Chains A and B, each alone.
Chain A
Amino acid sequence: MLTVIRALICLLLGVTLTAAGEPQLVPDVSQRNVEIRYSFTGAELLLFGAIIYPDALSRKRDADIVVVLRGPTNSIIVREKQKIGGIWVNAATMRYRSAPSFYAMASSRPLHDIVGERTAAIYELGVGNLQLSPASNEATGEETDRFERGFIDLLKRASLFQESENGVEITDGALYRAHIRLPARVPVGHYSAETFLIRDGHIIAAAVRDIEISKTGFERFVAVAADKWPWTYGIAAMLISLLSGLGAAALFRRL
């Protein structure tokens, strides 16, 4: 924590000396690389930074901060269960070309107090404003809405979609920070942390930082091996299972 504050002060001093006309954002994240190891149960990310104003006057009018952490997008199929002949089966599907696997938004005040709907939609602020781009073109509007609600609800409960109004804390109108909790099942890949400085419903500054979430060490080795060399991995798994079975039996015979 101390190093974080120290880094901030340095940044603050460094940038105020070279102030320009527009306010600037100097964002950072507590971890550029999140590593998933053997006992990974999730992680806490701190998105923080400084708001640099060119002159002291403009600082008096408070601005708001919205941070968005976005995971890799995938093409996905969402399935819907329906009761058919007494049992629940996957009956309907909807395909999306690019749906984020993770999306967390935190803002310093409730979003609708900060920006208008148009701006929120353009910058995809808030889970409801995600552009999911359904690929099934014959679907009706009602159907699209139903699937979107179901999908968002599912990911929200898995903490893969998060919204936290008042999740950003602004100190003295110059320093901001937000905590975002990554769940244990967080997908691996390339993440981007976007920060928006908003005043009077307009985005006056924006900045992006990248975060990489990856499996490391043994976990990475296993996942890569299973994907890249399936035959070798399969044979190895078979042999490991056989040998540990034999080993255990030999051990018990001694006891």
Chain B
Amino acid sequence: MDIYLPIAGLSVNILIIIGLGGVVGILSGMFGVGGGFLVTPLLIFYGIPPSVAVASSATQITGTSVSGVLAYMQRGAVDVRMGLVLVAGGILGSIGGGFVFRWLQKGGQIDTVVALLYVLLLGTIGGYMAKEALQTILASRRGHQMPFQRRRHHPAVAALPMRWRFYGSGLYISPIAPFALGLVSGVLTVLLGVGGGFFVVPAMIYVLGMATGMVVGTSLFQILFVTAATTLVHAVTTKSVDIVLAILLLIGSVTGAQLGARIAARISPEWLRLMLATIVLLVALRMALGLGWRPDEIYSVQAG
């Protein structure tokens, strides 16, 4: 069953795209990540032009994250003040990222930069996650608990001027730190088509020192608004948002997310994190190999 994607300009198998969304949805339901880091590379492997893959994946994440945000807000697990600072940084970052994207596209280097960033980010974060999860699992095997680490923010964050109180997160820090974090994640959203959860969540815990109960909800809150802004940025600058592609992915991912949430309830969190780390590392490895291997196409054509 084929369907023509009006912006990508090619026909795709409808079931493959929905299935792809479904797999990613399962992962996002299991691990609480947006799954953009998986969708975008897979769409590119499938033959969707990179800019369309990145832009439409951001659009899809908006739809996948909205129900999660509402659920977390009802439980009071979103620090709205912190979220808004992150969103402000994120929107600015996505606008700036839009220009960077256009510039790289004109120079023909967008594919390489996207792949390099993926390898770098996923490799680092996947590595850390795997190490931590393994340590926890090994420690509990030996029968003793991991030494409790006192929550505190990074010294560089403490040194920033103009402190605000973030009651939800239990923090008294300068808003510049979360703003900068939002800025970076906004740039990444535009360039890579990721929500940035896999990057913002660890940063909130280890750099800002936020209360862990608030982290996932606040990160989702930020992802919702920043991916929405990114859709707009891509629609205006690169004109590569394919709404048909986004909806197909969305159908799969919202369904998958329900399944994933049920699976996650039966597996212990350490194992979940180890599994996520493995997937993240595999994607990074595939991307790294793709950079080094002789590509199928040496030549490429671009309108100019």
Contact = CB atoms under 8 A, between A and B. Distances in A.
Contacts of A252: 254, 258
A150 B4 contact: no
Contacts of B239: 226-227, 230
Contacts of B304: 75-77, 95
Nearest to A229: B235
A76 B300 CA distance: 10
A38 interface: yes
B232 A90 contact: no
Nearest to B110: A90
B291 A231 contact: no
B149 interface: no
A46 interface: no
Interface string B30-74: 000000000000000000000000000001101111110010000
A113 to B, nearest CB: 31
Interface in B225-259: 228, 231-236, 239, 241, 243-244, 246-247, 250-251, 254-255, 258
B79 to A, nearest CB: 22
Interface stretch (A12-20, A119-127, A237-245): A237-245
B231 A237 contact: yes
Contacts of B67: 245-246, 248-249
Interface in B99-140: 108-109, 111-112, 116
Interface in A74-125: 74-81, 83, 86-90, 93, 95
A198 to B, nearest CB: 31
Contacts of B267: none
A182 B3 CA distance: 17
A155 B299 CA distance: 10
Interface-centre pick from A78, A215, A234 (highest chain B CB count, 10 A): A234
A156 B232 CA distance: 36
A7 interface: no
A99 to B, nearest CB: 8
Contacts of B292: 86-88
Contacts of A241: 59-60, 62-63, 228, 231, 246-247, 250
B299 A80 contact: yes
A218 B67 CA distance: 28
Interface in A147-166: 147, 150-151, 153-155
A50 interface: no
Contact of A76 (B64, B109, B233, B302): B302
Interface residues of A, number: 56
A249 B253 CA distance: 11
Contact count band on B: 35 or more
A78 B300 contact: yes
Given A231-B235, A241-B250, A246-B67, A226 B109 contact: no
B11 interface: yes
A32 interface: no
A11 B47 CA distance: 45
Contacts of B213: none
Contacts of B265: none
Contacts of B272: none
A246 B300 contact: no
Contacts of B162: none
Contacts of A202: none
A241 to B, nearest CB: 4
A234 B56 CA distance: 11
Nearest to A222: B6
A238 B302 contact: no
A144 to B, nearest CB: 13
A139 interface: no
B66 A246 contact: yes
Nearest to A95: B304
A178 to B, nearest CB: 25
A190 interface: no
Interface of B: 1-4, 6-7, 9-11, 59-60, 62-67, 70, 108-109, 111-112, 116, 228, 231-236, 239, 241, 243-244, 246-247, 250-251, 254-255, 258, 291-295, 297-304
Given A38-B4, A90-B300, 11 more contacts: A74-B303, A86-B292, A184-B11, A215-B6, A226-B241, A234-B234, A240-B246, A242-B63, A245-B254, A246-B66, A249-B70
